[in-house]
Structure 1
Amino acid sequence: MKFFLIVFLLFISRAGSQEILKVGMELSYPPFEMICQDGEPCGVSVALAKKLGEYLNRPVQIENISFVGLIPALKSGKIDLILSSLTVNKEREKAIDFSIPYAKTGLSLLINAKSTVENIEDANVKGKVLVVKSATTGELYALKNLNQATIRVLDKESLCVLEVIQGKADAFIYDQLSVYTNWQKNPMTLRANLKPFYEESWAIGIKKGNEALLNKVNQFIKDFTSDGGFDRLADSYLREQKAAFQKLKIPFIF
């Protein structure tokens, strides 16, 4: 009897040591964060989160949270970290800590086919209308730097794209990969300038003061990079985009 009790207690102790890693992301940003046909989270960020969980020996639980709610959820302790194509910027650094960057991207333009806009300088003139998604660096950049154009802030990527397709806006300011994807879906009505006019990095967001988790996450990123992990993710999820960027001689994000 005593033997079985010891085994049971060891089992409970081991199970308890595998604390769930709660990862926050907005599952509406394919191919990085999305819900697949089986109803389960999938995409580049989901795969990366699972690899991180394996590295930390912690089961992963994905929490689908609106992008504007991710930082409040992290600060309140609802989630352990944010892994949602999150751009590092000074405003966010005041609220949370960031890991070392794992991807480099940049802001570019998705343009209505009939618009005279060719680049960001053309866009920042009176009479031009630009759309941005709320709580993104595109919004922050536009409100800070584009004081001549009219800026419309919408809460969904799809709505921003639709505004440009319908000619209600000249261009949508967003990251390169999303601009490329939306351009490919609508080649008759949209154009793209994929050369970034503002470069930025993605990193994992962690609650301030959680140095232990931050150090482990940083080491994971270093090890995963040196082991070719990000190259494998790109080959699995972003093969077409990677080839297109290489053809355009634009550096890829990984």
Structure 2
Amino acid sequence: MSNGIKWLFFIALVLCLQMAASVPARAAGKPLVVGMELAYPPFEMTDASGKPDGVSVQLAYELGKALGRPVEIKNMAFDGLIPALKTGKIDLIISSMTATAERAKSIDFSDPYLSTGLCLLVNKKVPGSTIADFDQPGRAIAVKKGTTGHLYASNNLKKAKVLVLDKEAAAVLEVVQGKADAFIYDQMSTYQNFQRNRETTRPILKPFQTESWAIGLRKGNDELKAKVNRFLFEFRKTGGFGKLGDRYLKEEKDAFKQLGYPFFL
């Protein structure tokens, strides 16, 4: 074999070894595409510069670090998240999603990472202290489409008129303007919406249905599910959730303590 041929063979061998070595690195660096609706502060939102931010966003970034993968946040409507997951457009859902039996028919869930409950934001002029008080003829109750509040209303409210709206802000506005008597939503958001509308609303924070939030995954993706669950365990053990609570929910954390309600993060 001539020196020229030997040299070409050596170059080809080096290139092959480099390509082989780069395959695991590329696989490890494949983006983790996380779907969420960036319209639910302080969990899913955008900062002043328009970049994704919030508890769920930071949780996604920390998960990506643990998995050794860069994270890509996909902003989409809440009721489009499960279809996007099932068709492979996203890898995970981290969007304050309640793990329900109905949703578990079509997707898998991680271990729960947060406990909360459904409660009511009500118009200040309207009497009542329980969900039964508001499920009455002549009453109107707002819900956000695709949420567990929507599901609860569909299955349990028999007398009140249910107003299904696409956006949280629209549902709050219905209550503020007196077009709806109450809005079914989670405790933290109900408290925050009351804070923004103290003159026209009041919160009934005692939950009438307790819930758990979890990360959504495609059916059968057991390897990723195991990694996600391991991350959640370690993140809680090392105080990660506590730090996120202090960073994004300090005021709410203190307020819930004063009101006698457990802080759930």
TM-score range, shorter chain: over 0.9
Give the equivalent residue in structure 1 for 2:195.
184
**Residue 83 of structure 2 aligns to a residue in which SS?**
helix
Asked whether the 8 Å contact 1:165–1:189 carries over to 2, the reply is yes
Give the equivalent residue in structure 2 for 1:249.
260
User: Matches of 1:236 and 1:17 in 2, distance apart?
Assistant: 30
Structure 2-normalised TM-score? 0.92
Give the equivalent residue in structure 2 for 1:169.
180
Give deviations 1:182-224, integer Å, cap 9, x for gaps. Answer: 1000100010011111100000000001000011101111111
User: Matches of 1:13 and 1:144 in 2, distance apart?
Assistant: 49
Asked whether the 8 Å contact 1:18–1:59 carries over to 2, the reply is yes
Question: Deviation at 1:121?
Answer: 1.7
Question: Deviation at 1:8?
Answer: 6.7
Equivalence map 1:79-158=2 (5 Å) = 79-158=90-169
The amino acid of 1:168's aligned partner reads: K
Equivalence map 1:184-223=2 (5 Å) = 184-223=195-234
Give deviations 1:12-40, integer Å, cap 9, x for gaps. Answer: 64234311100000011000001111111
Structure 1-normalised TM-score? 0.96
User: Matches of 2:79 and 2:261 in 1, distance apart?
Assistant: 30
Asked whether the 8 Å contact 1:81–1:205 carries over to 2, the reply is yes
Percent identity of paired positions between Structure 1 and Structure 2: 54
Asked whether the 8 Å contact 1:112–1:164 carries over to 2, the reply is yes
**Residue 90 of structure 1 aligns to a residue in which SS?**
coil
User: Matches of 1:62 and 1:85 in 2, distance apart?
Assistant: 14
Asked whether the 8 Å contact 1:117–1:170 carries over to 2, the reply is no
Runs of 4+ in 1 over 2 A off after TM superposition: 1-13
User: Matches of 1:23 and 1:4 in 2, distance apart?
Assistant: 37
User: Matches of 2:129 and 2:34 in 1, distance apart?
Assistant: 38
Task: Determine whether 1:57 maps to 2:68.
Answer: yes
**Residue 98 of structure 2 aligns to a residue in which SS?**
coil
Q: Which runs of 5+ in 2 are unaligned?
A: 1-9
User: Matches of 1:39 and 1:12 in 2, distance apart?
Assistant: 34
Asked whether the 8 Å contact 1:102–1:203 carries over to 2, the reply is yes
Q: Which runs of 5+ in 1 are unaligned?
A: none
> Number of residues paired by the alignment?
254
User: Matches of 2:27 and 2:217 in 1, distance apart?
Assistant: 22
Give deviations 1:43-74, integer Å, cap 9, x for gaps. Answer: 00000000000010010000011101000000
Q: Kindly name which structure, 1 or 2, has the bigger radius of gyration based on alpha carbons.
A: 2
Question: Which residue, 21, 25, 30 being the options, matches 1:19?
Answer: 30
